[in-house]
Structure 1
Amino acid sequence: MKYVLKTDKSSTTIIIRLMVGIVFLSEGVQKFMFAEQLGVGRFAKIGLPGPEFLGPFVGSCEMICGALVLLGLLTRFAAIPLLCIMLVAMATTKANILVGEGFWAMMHASRTDWAMLLGSLFLLIRGGGRWSIDRKINSRWKS
């Protein structure tokens, strides 16, 4: 558990946390608000199995993990499901663009996906940073 809370002293990590947390929290909420376009309906359209389960499940993971990232609480742990979500999203929605329209069209269409994937990877590696609940908890364990 101590490694999960471990983080560096960087004060700029909050910028990555804000970016990743706000986007995932917002996307999760929208999967419920606009289920036919962004949740269950979208998952069915792209052919994912069990869209009635998967839509709300992914939306809930995005909201919970996005909120944890924003708070800097269990940041490394929260980054893992977000990485998985982005890898599946890119594989299921961008591979057909790569095949049909080419590399540059796929890169253009996936620019936000790459930002969220790499932002989540950064948080997995570095933790929540100076202004995180992880850091406050971890510093109490040290004393």
Structure 2
Amino acid sequence: MSNQAPLDARVIPLRPVPVPARPARTGRPAAPPAQDPVPAAPTPKEPLWRDLVGDVLRRERLAQERTLKDVADTARISMPYLSEVERGRKEASSEILAAAAQALGLGLGDLLSRAQGELVRVTGRRAPVSRGTARASHDGLCLAA
């Protein structure tokens, strides 16, 4: 007996194999299976809010040349938790965001406004303007709980 594995291994596909359509019972041959449409270019993925807020916090902290420990101590947040917020790993509460923003000399509104500006910049689009309606010229941000 050989210790080598057999050459005919069982392959488990990662995607389900399409099942061919059943022929109609009309006596006519079944239509050929439909070709898969050409895949469209992937749409850019919308960034997560926690990533945007974390980026703003980190950029501001680095711009002030402050350490993570310094900001965490001032905000009364654990240093590992603030690090996770900055990296977008944690979805911080409004209290945590307000404390981190205040420790950096920002208001919560400033933090959220900068994150919203980053969202607009990254996605490169604004809300569509409906015909016949005048769009107010504001870049407000509304969060609801």
Alignment TM-score, normalising by the size of structure 1:
0.30
Greater relative CO (CA pairs within 8 A, separation 6+): 1
Alignment TM-score, normalising by the size of structure 2:
0.29
Query: Which has the greater radius of gyration?
Result: 2
